[in-house]
Amino acid sequence: MKRNRPFFLISNDDGYTAKGINELIDTLRPLADLLVVAPERSRSGMGCAITADVPITCELVRKERGLKVYVCSGTPADCIKLAHAHLLKGRRPDLVLAGINHGDNSSVNAHYSGTMGAVYEGALHGYPSMAFSLCDFNPDADFTPLRPYIIDLVFKAITVGLPHFSCLNVNFPKCEKFKGTKVCRMAYTQWDNEFTKAKRPQGGTVYWLTGDRRDIGEPQEDTDSWALAHGYVAITPVTLDVTSYGLLEILNNVL
């Protein structure tokens, strides 16, 4: 890999064959060297899960000038951990990138997302990290409108930098043309009716995870949910420090 170009570490949670991650590779490959370490199959909803009870495998499946693609049997977080420990070989990535995810990772979904799990892991290792998601679950979704935004955001992140222990969660609405970008906070949302109960033909009961996401209270214009609903690209800065500083102050005064 050339040393005079940016270097990005890429993963996802839809698996290495997903259209989204291959669109991200195609978008950035002319501009940077890429090391891709992605799950062998869909790992959606894995969050920050890691594999601790069985060994994982990692196989090089593609090697070209400026590009290496590894397939890992573990989770998205495993992929970044393994890359950090064994595959970077001393070369520090300018950015850890995850996606492009097939589906919405805004608001409460960011807590469950394997896409976000990959960038959380990157940020934990001190790498500037950014996740991209399109609010379209179609396996053949059209990612073309995202390309100029991704290039712009990636190189702005390199130029400006990101604070340690932080990352960016970028969500694109499903539309042919975006109204622009909005830097916004995470909306307060929750999932209702999360499971559908069904009978198994051979007897017994199973539960399918489904559900409906809803805003808690009226949608606010400074949130990611509002931005996406109104055709804007939602950019949410996320911190890995989950300390509640307001409650910390209260507890210090009470205890």
Structural domains in the chain, sorted by start: 7-186+214-254 (3.40.1210.10)
The confidence score (pLDDT) of residue 195 equals 75
- Report the C-alpha gap between 96 and 130 in whole angstroms: 6
Q: Quick count: other Cβ atoms within 10 Å of Cβ 220?
A: 13
**Helix, strand, coil percentages in the chain from 3-state DSSP, rounded to 5:** 25, 30, 40
Binding site members: 13-14, 44, 101
User: Radius of gyration over alpha carbons of the chain, in Å?
Assistant: 19
Binding site members for a divalent metal cation: 13-14, 44, 101
- Report the C-alpha gap between 51 and 85 in whole angstroms: 15
The confidence score (pLDDT) of residue 2 equals 43
Q: Is 180 helix (H, G, I), strand (E, B) or coil?
A: strand
Are 129 and 96 in contact, with CB atoms under 8 Å apart?
A: yes
Q: Quick count: other Cβ atoms within 10 Å of Cβ 235?
A: 18
Per DSSP, the residues of 86-153 read: IISTTPPPSEEEEEEEES---TTHHHH-HHHHHHHHHHHTT--EEEEEES---TT---GGGHHHHHHH
Which residues make beta-bridge pairs with 190?
A: 214
How does strand 95-102 pair with strand 129-134?
parallel
The confidence score (pLDDT) of residue 189 equals 75
Local mean pLDDT, 10-residue blocks, the chain (255 residues): 80 96 97 97 90 95 96 96 95 96 92 95 96 96 96 95 94 94 88 77 82 74 93 96 92 92
Dihedral sign (CA 74, 78, 80, 84): negative
The confidence score (pLDDT) of residue 212 equals 74
The confidence score (pLDDT) of residue 155 equals 95
The confidence score (pLDDT) of residue 3 equals 58
The confidence score (pLDDT) of residue 143 equals 96
- Report the C-alpha gap between 182 and 86 in whole angstroms: 37
